[in-house]
Copies of this chain bind each other. A is one copy, B any other.
Amino acid sequence: MKSSNVVKVSFKQQMLKAREDAIIETVNQLLAEKGFEAMTVDEVAASVGIAKASLYKHFPSKEDLAAAAMVRVMQRAQAFIKTLQPASPPLDNIRAVARWTMEVKLAGQMPSLPSQNSSLRATLMGNTEYMDGLMEVSDTLGAWIEAAQKGGTLNPKLPAIAVLYTLYARACDPVLEFLKMGGQHDDTQIVEMVLSTCFDGLNTR
């Protein structure tokens, strides 16, 4: 009897999680496509295929809805970073993260960060899961950056924080979509080009 209950509850929870995953997936896509302000809860509900009121049973507000999607992306980033070899040259890992970020963006799955004074910003900053993830990622990348600078592969004259921000900025680099719209290059080529401009610069070497 007890174990039966446990199983039932677990099953229900699995269903719940599956649905919430579907919701977050949709929100993620809409955030990447049009941003937080332009995305409407009606759209989300229609796209998921449930009533708007049902959405609000899962998430208390539009901000929390978006925050859940941001948390998921952050978790994916953390998961990807864990697949990298700590023993690899730091620059290799840094480049791998930049490449991953751009691939996600090109796949239309990178939610654009909220602009300066969005209501989403405050929600995100109060979201422990998101902030913890952000800090963990920043710590890992920061260590790699400093190691690469000491190792002489990354320019040691740049503040490490500037390098870190430059990496983060690949998540919202419009060059990727511009080049994709041009139709002259496939995703792989685009990623390689932007990687080149990012690490090697525009000038001749």
Q: Which residues of A contact B (CB under 8 A)?
A: 33-35, 37-38, 91, 112-113, 115-118, 152-159, 161-163, 165-166, 168-169, 172-175, 177-179, 182, 184-185, 193-194, 196-205
For A199, the chain B residues whose CB sits under 8 A away are 201-203
The reply to whether A203 and B154 contact each other, CB–CB distance below 8 Å, is yes
Given A162-B193, A179-B161, A193-B159, also A117-B33 (CB < 8 A)? yes
Question: Which residue on B lies nearest to A37, using beta carbons?
Answer: B37
The reply to whether B165 and A178 contact each other, CB–CB distance below 8 Å, is yes
Chain A contact residues, majority secondary structure = helix
Known: A155-B203, A166-B175. 15 other contacts (CB 8 A): A34-B117, A34-B118, A35-B35, A155-B202, A156-B204, A159-B193, A161-B184, A163-B202, A165-B175, A165-B179, A168-B178, A172-B174, A197-B198, A199-B203, A205-B205
Given A174-B165, A203-B154, also A115-B112 (CB < 8 A)? yes
For A197, the chain B residues whose CB sits under 8 A away are 158, 162-163, 166, 198, 201
Q: Which 5 A-B pairs have the closest CB atoms?
A: A201-B201, A37-B37, A200-B201, A165-B178, A165-B175
A51 to B12, CA, bound (A): 55
Question: Which residue on B lies nearest to A177, using beta carbons?
Answer: B116
A153 to B205, CA, bound (A): 9
Given A154-B202, A201-B198, also A162-B174 (CB < 8 A)? no
